[in-house]
Amino acid sequence: MIDANTIITQEFNAHLKTIESIIDTMEATLEEAALLVVKTLKNGNKVLLCGNGGSAADAQHIAAELTGRYKTERIGLPAIALTTDTSALTAISNDFGYNRVFDRQVEALANKGDLLIGISTSGNSENILSALKLGKTIGCTSIGLSGNDGGKMNELCDINLTVPSNDTPRIQEMHILLGHTICHIVDEAFK
């Protein structure tokens, strides 16, 4: 028999432990990241987001909060999740390999001054790293949402918001919290 109450308590406690691990260490870096998003958008540039699996869903979620709204009525803001165009995803994967699925879109869509947000719980997803490298050559700034020790994204991101955990679900929960916090700050800047 499954002890659902024990599982629920364990999950909630693991979540609380993870959030407690970032409360004191993340605030200044998160503020810097949010202000970079605001600056990018106020300068007339766009935000591009990419991730795999649950991180792809987070990229889409954050892009939707920016183009629509988070909480406040404001103008729609330019944000594109590079995870949503199935024709592009499958064609690029087929023709160039999955490691090129995001950098090829960055090459096609990014301009100098745009912001690329790469999401990877390990900080080492090859297709995210490739997109960040190419974005840098175009003149994009970058924010990472990562976990563990930040992985190789530490070297490639202007700001890497690293959740100090190796538990993928906990990292993903914090990523959407960080994304929502950024979106709230953006809402306030554009209301």
| CATH number of 49's domain | 3.40.50.10490
pLDDT band for position 1 (50/70/90)?
confident
Question: Could you give the CA distance from residue 77 to residue 187 in angstroms, rounded to a whole number?
Answer: 10
Residues 51, 116 contacting (CB under 8 angstroms): no
Structural domain total, the chain: 1
Structural domain harbouring 73: 4-190
87 known ligand binder: no
State residue 114 phi and psi, 5-degree precision.
-70, 165
Average pLDDT over residues 170-182: 97
Residue showing tokens 């879109």: 105
Mean pLDDT taken over the chain: 97
Q: Shortest CA distance to 70 belongs to which of 165, 162, 183?
A: 183
Average pLDDT over residues 42-51: 98
pLDDT band for position 181 (50/70/90)?
very high
- Report the amino acid identity of residue 184: H
Taking only the tens place, the pLDDT of each residue in 98-141 is 999 999 999 999 999 999 999 999 999 999 999 999 999 999 99
120 known ligand binder: yes
Write b or e for each residue in 34-59: b if 16 or more Cβ atoms lie within 10 A of its Cβ, otherwise e.
bebbbebbeeebbbbbbbbebbbbbb
Question: Could you give the CA distance from residue 122 to residue 128 in angstroms, rounded to a whole number?
Answer: 11
52 pLDDT higher than 90? yes
% of the chain exceeding 70 in pLDDT: 100
Q: Rounded to two decimals, what is the model's pTM?
A: 0.96
61 known ligand binder: yes
pLDDT band for position 144 (50/70/90)?
very high
Q: Shortest CA distance to 175 belongs to which of 106, 133, 123, 137?
A: 123
15 known ligand binder: no
Question: Could you give the CA distance from residue 17 to residue 47 in angstroms, rounded to a whole number?
Answer: 31
165 known ligand binder: no
85 known ligand binder: no
127 known ligand binder: no
173 known ligand binder: no
- Give the angle 44-179-97 at the CA atoms, nearest 5°: 80
Q: Shortest CA distance to 48 belongs to which of 127, 121, 109, 99?
A: 109
Average pLDDT over residues 71-99: 97
pLDDT value, residue 24: 84
96 pLDDT higher than 90? yes
